[in-house]
Copies of this chain bind each other. A is one copy, B any other.
Amino acid sequence: MVFKDKIKLAFQDAQVRICAALEAEDGLGKFSVEEWNHDSGGGGITRVIQDGQVLEKGGVNFSAVEGEIPGFMKNHVSAESTHFFATGISIVLHPHSPLIPIIHMNVRYFETNGGDAWFGGGIDLTPIYVVKEDAQQFHLALKNVCDQFDTEFYPAQKKWADDYFFNQHRNETRGVGGIFYDYLKPADGKFSHDALMNYALELTKTFVQVYVPLMAKYKNESFSAQQKEWQLMRRGRYVEFNLVYDRGTRFGLETRGRIESILMSLPEYASWKYNFAPTDNSPEKDTLDMLKKDINWLDLI
């Protein structure tokens, strides 16, 4: 089997496995399934959960698309490359409870008919209220999976996540970060195609291992109307990031992908209040103060 078919199948399996784990912890919601085709070739399977017990709205997208290389990508590929193949999984989950963080994960593989090939991906956590222990556990889990492949992965990819998941116009990180990587090439010699595919697949497992326990930990805790309002405002920032900066979203909107699959990342409800500022010494203010780059979450406690 050629590599692109192998990774495509592996991602498709991972999608099924992730949805099953999330449904089991949710206990009520079921993922809907839509298959779609892209104009230029290939397509995808979008799985969305709405109105679950824990998850208000969430999507686990799989896609494997091919076509001509768009103009703005030509700097990244060899002169002989005319066609690309890209496959990936994209996840965003918005729980009902403001005590459970929003989470995002993406892993992807790109290759051309001219011999280019690279991997990209990332996971980041967006708590409505930052709980230091949870952020530490999250980063520890990511570091552990990174270290199995290369001890340089975690520090480099953690920094990249801080820079990427950042609302520049507010000078505010989206959440407590995580890892982000792109243009990771098997051709660089250090890693084979299979090794980098395994790294991506390990990340999909880590995603489940870190998020399902967070759902379980907080799903039965009650929360106040004030906490819910704060959640809606933080979701507003999430919408700002996705529509203004997120590469996948902007790429999807510009290339006229399937809109409902691209924008499944937006929450069911969000809010913007003019000039809102949390009061000093409030849990909301404590969280805002931690939405900064370059915090070492591993050592925080």
Mark A residues whose CB is within 8 Å of B. 32, 34, 48, 50, 57, 59, 168-170, 232, 236, 239-240, 243-244, 253, 256, 259-260, 262-264, 266-275
Copies per complex of this chain: 2
A267 contacts across to B, CB distance below 8 A: 272
Chain B residue at minimal CB-CB distance from A260: B275
From B169, B269, B270, contact of A259 by CB (8 A): B169
Assess whether B170 is in contact with A266, with CB atoms less than 8 Å apart.
no
Q: A236-B266, A269-B232 are in contact. Are A260 and B274 (CB under 8 A)?
A: yes
Assess whether B59 is in contact with A274, with CB atoms less than 8 Å apart.
yes
- Smallest Cβ distance from A244 to chain B, in angstroms? 5
Cα(A263)–Cα(B270), bound, Å: 14
Having A32-B274, A268-B272, A269-B271, one finds 19 other A-B pairs with CB under 8 Å, namely: A50-B273, A50-B274, A57-B272, A57-B273, A168-B253, A169-B259, A170-B259, A232-B269, A239-B239, A239-B270, A240-B243, A243-B243, A244-B244, A263-B272, A264-B274, A267-B272, A268-B271, A269-B270, A270-B272
